[in-house]
């Protein structure tokens, strides 16, 4: 068998294999959360999210709203030096991000096994 024939068989097999892999993965809700930051944010987004009284008071001041909170929980940066510490039966996470006005905001979120609670919102 000549080299170009081997290459043609290889490409046909590769295309068929990619087709089957694409079919299997397209029907599933797959995510690639391999880094710690993405895993923590994904975990917090997928749990029922509650607001503490301090966070509700900060939100009533109109410099931050729920869309800012959701945006930070999607694109924020977890400060692991200040996070993953036991706090009131859960773990406290500090997440940094920006609101719509491009002001830096820090969220303090308590991660319980069944829910996540926004404890405080701090403007930097």
Domain 36-123: CATH architecture, name and number where available: 2-Layer Sandwich (3.30)
Q: What are phi and psi of 65, to 5 degrees?
A: -135, -175
pLDDT confidence of residue 19: 92
pLDDT of 106 higher than 80: yes
pLDDT in the model for residue 97: 92
CA 81 to each of CA 57, 84, 100: distance values in angstroms, whole numbers, following the listed order: 27, 8, 26
Q: Give residue 11's pLDDT.
A: 95
Residue matched to tokens 């299997």:
24
For the chain, domain boundaries: 1-30, 36-123
Q: What is the mean pLDDT of residues 60-71?
A: 87
Residues 27-63: pLDDT tens digits?
666 667 788 888 999 999 899 999 988 888 888 888 8
Exposure string (b/e) for 4-16, b if CB count within 10 Å is 16 or more?
Answer: eeeeeeeeeeeee
Residue 82 is predicted with a pLDDT of: 87
Does 18 score more than 90 pLDDT? Answer: yes
Q: What is the pLDDT of residue 77?
A: 92
pLDDT at residue 94 in the model: 94
């Amino acid at each position: 068998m000549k080299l170009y024939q081997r290459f043609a068989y290889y490409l046909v097999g590769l295309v068929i294999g990619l087709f089957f892999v694409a079919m299997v993965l397209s029907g599933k809700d797959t995510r690639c959360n391999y880094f710690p930051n993405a895993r923590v944010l994904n975990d917090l987004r997928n749990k029922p999210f509650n607001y503490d009284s301090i966070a509700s008071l900060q939100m009533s001041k109109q410099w931050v709203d729920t869309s800012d909170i959701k945006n930070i929980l999607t694109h924020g940066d977890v400060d692991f030096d200040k996070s993953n510490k036991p706090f009131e039966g859960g773990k406290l996470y500090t997440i940094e991000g920006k609101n719509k006005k491009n002001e830096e905001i820090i969220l303090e979120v308590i991660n319980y096994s069944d829910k996540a609670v926004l404890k405080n919102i701090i403007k930097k």
